[in-house]
Amino acid sequence: MKNTLRDIEELPDLGITLSDGTRLSARVWRPTDASSDPVPVILEYLPYRKRDGTCARDALTHPYFAERGYACLRVDMRGNGDSHGLMEDEYTQQELDDAVEVIDWAASQPWCSGTVGMMGISWGGFNGLQVAAMTPDPLKAVITLCSTVDRFADDIHYKGGCLLNENLGWGATMWSYSSRAPDPALRPDWREIWMDRLENEPFLPATWLRHQTRDAYWKHGSVIESYDTIKAKVLAVGGWGDAYKNAVPQLVDALPGAKGIIGPWVHKYPHFAVPEPRIGFLQEALRWWDRWLKCVETGVEEDPDLRTYLMDGVRPATWYSDRPGHWIGQKAGDLHRGGDHSVYHMGAGTLSLEAADTHVTVASPADTGADAGEYCAIWLGPELPGDQRRDDALSACWTSAPLANDTEISGAPQVHLTGITDQPQGQIAVRLNHVHPDGASTRITFGVLNLSHRHSASDPTPMTPGTPEEISIVLDHAGYTVPKGHRIRVAISTAYWPLIWPAPSPVQLTVTKGRLALPHPGPVTGAVRFEPPAAAAAWETEELRPENHIRRQEVDQVTGLTSLVIEDDFGKVRDADHGLINGSVARERWDIHPDDPLSARGTCHWTDELERDDISLRTETHCAMWADATHFHLSASIEAFENDVQVHHRTITDTIPRNEM
């Protein structure tokens, strides 16, 4: 079916009043004749501020669907942007209940045909699945991008039971984002709303750090607990350069009728993502919406269950503008384990298809992992993993002979080993690397494991020093081709800073046996092609300060302290339509001494600016984290200024016991 373009209108601040009286603010794009010719609704429901935060991507996306017969609602969650109320945490039951109310409200409007879809990336991808698990009747389809099915295993808080430093980093982001004021032009009570947020905004890293195992807190919102309740048809999308790629094959395997796409991208929508090639994501989404919201036969059921991009093996770089490779299609059914496997045995520094013995000891310096890159590449700076040779030198490595043929990897590699530690508490990082003929080392994928979580993420048990233990670690999914004549390498370290917080004391690990299960593509199901990327007109702004992104590694030659310094200036712009000015600068610093894991310290500082006419608002948020052998320590502060006069200041300190962490 070819969609005839319809004239559309935009409503910048449509109010949706919830049952408790809270008013949510929606930005709406819809056909001008929707009242006489009702259309389905596409909901994107986020805390990231529709008036200034997500404008760039909203402009490219929502008008496109509206012109093709949909009403797009971009709703600010309670406590954020131009909506009233307060936000207490991510993915609370209140958040999800609000979304269900919004869906039911939208479906009942005279301009809606009665069916609703949810679409979102990251937070919006998470809550789209979570709301689908609540089965609101009007919700017929979901497009989830860069999301997860397990909040403990695959979010920004913990990975393999290890504490991700993104727990502090993203918590600092939300500490800043959600404490900002509404647009004064839209809310006459904007100052009252702002003061309420400043006084009540939670410092979420402390909340998240109080749950160091996979308890009920993390099971809430983890749809892996309730796949059978999801009735909406799900299209899942991810990128190999993103932290969230594992959910795509998991969803395709678990949900009847679900489809998946994984490209080379970082944490962005695929019609404007990098690295290229981009795809016609909006056209793909439209096929999904037309089929499941309008009951139009678009052929989506005949698409391969999983369409993945196998990236050609390339030299390491902290940023790529494009990644050569090719698309393949595969059927569901064990996709998350790969279609076929090669088993490599870990010998005396070698990977071999023949059985081999090993006896290797590793005790990595605490700053091992300096070339890991960002956990979640999102800001488009130099965030990807660089040359792994330095980290390889600080790790135990097993390297294959030159490969006899091109080797395609598709799925989640697994490493199984027998290990002995000298401490009850420790961690390992396992990297699968592509080694070039000149020795350059490209990270293909990785996994980390808190050794106390080797048997259970819910009930951790310390290692018994000196006792051999069976340890298995599943690496992140990958789609990658290692060229003939190049080699593969398994590198294991006992530290991975600054990606994860270190164990409380240095650990020595002895590996006495090991093997790598390397997944290859299953049978390919036909050719995969996408239309070229399309988009609506770009957001029009006046640039007042350009963007600038810095990643700098420092070594104090006197103390030996090593540091990663991050400075992300996101620039400052004026909206060409309504005139609101906004700008942000984020700064992070991660310090550690190679010989002392208890020297680890993370600090974050955000500056956010909002200006309109004679009103100039600014927040300065700071936070820090450090630890001793038994406790984590946190501090945070927020200062708010109106026309350069301080109008609010609040400081928080907290101490939280370590739980086998």
CATH, residue 436: 2.60.120.260
Q: What secondary structure does DSSP assign to 296-319, as a single string?
A: ---SGGGS-SEEEEEEEP----S-
Residues 466, 385 within the same domain: yes
> Could you tell me if residue 50 is inside a domain?
yes
Q: Which domain range does residue 558 map to?
A: 541-657
Q: What is the pLDDT of residue 239?
A: 97
Placement of tokens 């991510």 in the chain? 90
Residues 101, 167 within the same domain: yes
Residues in the chain: 661
Q: Residue 30: CA atoms inside 13 Å, Cβ hemisphere, count?
A: 28
SS3 468: coil
**Separation in Å, CA 337 to CA 93, 162, 341, 343:** 32, 23, 9, 13
The residues facing 43 across adjacent strands are 73, 118
Task: Please give the average pLDDT of every successive group of 10 residues along the chain, which has 661 residues.
Answer: 83 98 98 98 97 95 98 98 97 98 98 98 97 98 98 97 98 95 96 97 97 98 96 98 95 96 96 96 98 97 96 96 95 67 93 92 97 89 93 98 96 96 98 98 98 97 97 97 98 98 97 96 85 96 95 96 96 97 97 98 98 97 98 98 98 98 95
**AA letter at 431:** R
> Could you tell me if residue 1 is inside a domain?
no
Residues 437, 504 within the same domain: yes
- Name the residue among 496, 474, 391 with its Cα closest to residue 433: 391
DSSP state of 403: P
> Could you tell me if residue 286 is inside a domain?
no
Residues 614, 515 within the same domain: no
Helical axes 55-67 vs 281-294, angle rounded to 10°: 50
> Could you tell me if residue 599 is inside a domain?
yes
User: Please, which residues have CB within 8 angstroms of residue 641's CB and are 6 or more apart in sequence?
Assistant: 616, 617, 618, 619, 620, 647
φ, ψ (nearest 5 deg) of residue 402:
-55, 135
Residues 20, 135 within the same domain: yes
Residues 47, 145 within the same domain: yes
> Could you tell me if residue 306 is inside a domain?
no
**AA letter at 660:** E
What sign for the dihedral angle of Cα 557, 558, 559, 564? Answer: negative
Burial class of residue 33, CB neighbours in 10 A (0-12, 13-18, 19+): middle
CATH, residue 231: 3.40.50.1820
- Name the residue among 269, 276, 301 with its Cα closest to residue 287: 301
Cis-peptide, bond into residue 594, ω within 30° of zero? no
Residues 422 and 229: their CA atoms lie apart, in Å, by 45
**Tokens standing for residue 228:** 């059978």
Domain boundary among 259, 294, 323: 259
Asked if 388 and 446 touch (Cβ cutoff 8 Å), the reply is no
Placement of tokens 């009847």 in the chain? 256
Asked if 299 and 373 touch (Cβ cutoff 8 Å), the reply is no
Q: What is the pLDDT of residue 527?
A: 83
Please give the radius of gyration of the chain, using alpha carbons only, rounded to the nearest integer.
Answer: 25
Asked if 410 and 336 touch (Cβ cutoff 8 Å), the reply is no
Q: What is the pLDDT of residue 281?
A: 98
**AA letter at 84:** H
- Name the residue among 585, 642, 582 with its Cα closest to residue 54: 582
Residues 351, 476 within the same domain: yes
Domain boundary among 520, 555, 583: 520
Residues 614 and 642: their CA atoms lie apart, in Å, by 10
**Tokens standing for residue 149:** 């099915």
> Could you tell me if residue 52 is inside a domain?
yes
Residues 463, 560 within the same domain: no
Residues 134 and 231: their CA atoms lie apart, in Å, by 9
**Tokens standing for residue 464:** 């018994």
Number of domains comprising the chain:
3
Residues 44, 183 within the same domain: yes
What sign for the dihedral angle of Cα 309, 314, 319, 322? Answer: negative
Q: Are strands 631-642 and 645-657 parallel, antiparallel or unpaired?
A: antiparallel
Q: What is the pLDDT of residue 257?
A: 96
Residues 359, 411 within the same domain: yes
Residues 29, 94 within the same domain: yes
Residues 40 and 68: their CA atoms lie apart, in Å, by 11
Residues 69 and 2: their CA atoms lie apart, in Å, by 11
Q: What is the pLDDT of residue 236?
A: 98
Residues 86, 180 within the same domain: yes
Asked if 9 and 30 touch (Cβ cutoff 8 Å), the reply is yes
Residues 285 and 292: their CA atoms lie apart, in Å, by 11
